[in-house]
Structure 1
Amino acid sequence: MLDYDALHCLSEVLRYGSFDKGAQALHLTQSAVSQKIKRLELQVGSPVLVRTKPLKPTPLGQQLLAHVQRVNVLEEQLSVRTGISDEASPLSIAINNDVLATWFSDVMSRFSFRCANPVHIFNADQTQTRTLLQQGKVMGCISQTGTPIAGGESVRLGNMDYQLYASPEYIARYLAKGISPETVTASPGLLYDEFDVALLTEYQRECLGVTPRLKRCHWYPSSYGFLQMAVAGVAWALLPALQVKEEVRSGKLLPLFPDKYLGVTLFWHWVELESDALGELSQCVKDVAKEQLIY
């Protein structure tokens, strides 16, 4: 029989990415957690962790994580339905920055009125979230990839439109001689992080028809700060149209190419668990996306 105490330790160290942080969450010493996982690996006869920074599950570790998720869901369902306990288990999901900065707060608002389950959100680029789902770290995610994982389902949510924006002050300073793909890409821009390179490159190539140029881009890994950098006139920025409605209305930001949108298709993925709460969360995601995104 599997050691479920050790499985819980495995889940937590992967959730937090390290032995020391996982041990803190478990209120155990790092040595105790390490010993439990070593005993688990002896029991199953194979490593369950890739000891990198952050920690990653091996293929067997992924299977064990998926198993313990199902066990937790079954225990919660049984406890609630029999009245043994009304404690709700957390739902772990992976969401990208732009969705968090725009419409996912509406999802959380609706879900909070339907279920008491805490929602633990992993912040990851939309090109990386599906990997977290495959690894068993989360139960659901929003991804650019539509193909469901083994043992999971997916549904198309719609498109998030992106445009290049800059402040009037920025335009007066850097683009006074004219706004063109060449003058814009030669002036200071913004990147969120290394994963943002692909999105900006695609916009420059597909929407502006130019060879991508990123050398003059600042890197600023903060969703709120990213927008404020554009408003302050530091750089132009590729931003979701949903995020800048008020700034555009008030004239703080202007679209540099009003007819050039890049539509990013998003999909909701979830694992096949008999979880009422996960089903409610999935429904909230689909409902809000239908209202906010372009289908």
Structure 2
Amino acid sequence: MLDYDALYALNEVVRYGGFDRGAQALSLTQSAVSQKIKRLEQNVGGPVIVRTKPLKPTPLGRELLAHFQKVSVLEEALNIESGLQESASPITVAVNNDVLATWFSLVLAKFSETRRNPVHVYNADQTQTREKLQQGGVMACISQTGTPVTGGQSIRLGTMYYQLYASPAFIARYISGSPSPEKVMKSPGLLYDEYDVTLLSDYQQTCFNLAPSFSSCHWYPSSHGFVKMAVDGVAWALLPTLQVVDEVKKGELVSLFPQQALGLPLFWHWTSIDSGALSDLTRAVKLIAKQQLKDVV
């Protein structure tokens, strides 16, 4: 039988990225936590942690953590039904930067009206979140891929639209006359990180039939900083239309090509376990997405 006390220790060590912080969360010494992990590895017959900085679970460790999360949620439901205690197990989800910067806080606000479960949000690109769910690292995610994972369900939430924006000062400085795609792509632009290359490539190819080009782009890994860089006239940026409504109204940003928008479909994925809290979170996601996401720009 699995040692669930040791599994809990593994969960906290991985969550906080190290033995020191994991031990603090457990109110134990680092030595005691290390012994629990070592005993767990002996029981399951292999390593459960890659001892890097930050610590990462091995494939076996990921399987154990996925099992532990499911057991925790099922135990919560049993405790509530039996009246033993009011438990509030964390719900783990993976969400991409742009959703976090625009409407996911509304989801948490709605969820918190009826539930006190902590929601642990892991930030990942929309092309990577589903893999995190498939590996058992989270219980739900928002992804651009609709196919459900094994043992899970999915639903289409709507479409998030992106347009190319720049400040009036940037346009005056770098773009004389009417902006053309070729002219704009040769001026300074912005990328969030290496995964953002895919989104910008899709925009260039879908909207302009241009080969991907990033040689003039700055890299700036901050969603809110992205908007600030564009407003300050440093570069143009491909941004969610939802994120810059106020900046456009104030005239701080201008859509360079108002008729050209890239639509990114978004899907909510969740594991098929009997959890009232996860069901309530799913309802909150559906409700807020229906309010925020449109089928047209």
Which TM-score tier does this pair reach, normalised by the shorter chain?
over 0.9
Q: TM (normalized to structure 2)?
A: 0.94
Secondary structure of the corresponding residue to residue 37 of structure 1: helix
Deviation, structure 1 residue 52: 4.1
- The one-letter code sitting in structure 1 at the alignment partner of 2:203 is Y
Q: CA deviation at 1:191?
A: 0.9
Contact 1:157 1:290 (8 Å CA) reproduced: yes
> Could you tell me how far apart the structure 2 residues matched to 1:177 and 1:53 are?
51
Q: Percent identity?
A: 64
Name the structure 2 match of 1:15. 15
CA positional deviation for 1:23: 2.7
How far the C-alpha of 1:237 sits from its partner, in A, is 0.3
CA distance in 2, matches of 1:29, 1:182: 60
CA–CA separation in structure 2 for the residues paired with 1:59 and 1:213: 36
Closer, same or farther: CA 11–135 of 1 in aligned 2, 3 Å: farther
Deviation of 1:155 after TM superposition, in Å, equals 1.1
- The secondary structure found in structure 1 opposite 2:173 is helix
Letter in 2 for 1:260: Q
Per-residue CA deviations over 1:223-278 (Å, capped at 9, x if unaligned) read: 11111111111110000011111111221111111111111111111111111010
Question: Does the Cα contact within 8 Å between 2:66 and 2:138 map onto a contact in 1?
Answer: no
1:1-295 to 2 correspondences below 5 Å: 1-295=1-295
Q: Give the residue type in structure 2 aligned to 1:10.
A: L
SS of equivalent to 2:113: helix
Aligned partner of 1:3: which letter? D
CA RMSD of aligned residues (A): 1.6
Number of residue pairs matched by the alignment: 295
Maintained 8 Å contact 1:130/1:141:
yes
Segment of structure 1 superposing worse, 21-30 or 34-43: 21-30
- Alpha-carbon separation, structure 2, partners of 1:62 and 1:117: 22
Q: So what's the TM-score if we normalise by structure 1? A: 0.94
Q: Distance in 2 between matches of 1:264 and 1:95?
A: 14
Deviates more, 1:247-256 or 1:8-17: 8-17
Shift of 1:146: 1.5
Gapped regions of structure 1 (runs ≥ 5): none
Verify the 8 A CA contact 1:57 1:135 in the aligned structure 2. Answer: no
8 Å CA contact 1:15–1:137 kept in 2: the answer is no
Moved more, 229-238 or 71-80: 71-80
* Cα shift readout 1:75-109 (whole Å, capped 9, x = no counterpart): 21122222222231111111111001111121111
Distance 1:136 1:55 in 2: 16
